[in-house]
């Protein structure tokens, strides 16, 4: 089933909420169970980078899909540069900061569960009325 374009902004806001919640919960659990050591700081820093990465993905994606043709090309190129910069930031964090790589990986990986939880949550909500007739002509 395809998500209507009108529902995408609300879906992305829900992913944001779930992502921030997961990062806070993971950071809190790590601090509670393991103390404020390298693993916990890895979860916190990785989670913050993951939140920033998702925010930049949303912003650049909106520019690529809604901009004029010449600006779309620019933002698509900027998107590739963002990926390169993200790899650089990750490498810099792991090399310079006193972080445990496993904690960092856990923190930065919270985006994928946030998307899955949001999709699951959306699937439990009541179906929305069709905004257009079905191809067979009968109402859905």
Domain spans in the chain, listed from the N-terminal domain onward: 9-113
Report pLDDT for 8.
Answer: 84
* Spatial separation of the C-alpha atoms in residues 115 and 18, rounded to whole Å: 8
Report pLDDT for 55.
Answer: 95
Helices (H) and strands (E) in the chain, counts: 5, 0
Mean pLDDT per segment of 10 residues, for the chain of length 140 residues? 79 95 96 93 97 93 80 83 94 95 95 95 74 55
Report pLDDT for 133.
Answer: 55
Report pLDDT for 130.
Answer: 53
Report pLDDT for 71.
Answer: 81
Which positions ≥6 away from 11 have C-beta within 8 Å? 3, 118, 122
Report pLDDT for 67.
Answer: 74
Report pLDDT for 14.
Answer: 94
Q: Is 10 strand, coil or helix?
A: helix
Report pLDDT for 75.
Answer: 83
Among 64, 45, 28, 53, which residue's Cα sits nearest to residue 112?
53
Report pLDDT for 129.
Answer: 55
Q: How far is CA 44 from the centre of its chain?
A: 15
Report pLDDT for 20.
Answer: 97
């Amino acid at each position: 089933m395809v998500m209507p374009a009108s529902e995408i902004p609300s879906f992305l806001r829900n992913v944001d909420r779930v992502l921030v919640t997961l990062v806070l919960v993971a950071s809190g659990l790590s601090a509670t169970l393991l103390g404020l050591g390298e693993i916990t700081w890895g979860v916190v820093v990785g989670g913050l980078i993951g939140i920033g990465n998702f925010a930049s993905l949303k912003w650049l994606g909106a520019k690529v899909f809604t901009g004029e043709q010449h600006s779309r090309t620019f933002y698509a190129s900027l998107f590739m540069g963002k990926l390169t910069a993200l790899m650089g930031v990750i490498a810099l964090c792991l090399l310079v900061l006193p972080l445990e790589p496993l904690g960092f990986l856990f923190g930065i990986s919270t985006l994928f569960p946030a998307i899955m939880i949001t999709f699951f949550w959306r699937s439990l909500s009541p179906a929305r009325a069709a905004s257009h007739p079905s191809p067979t002509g009968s109402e859905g």
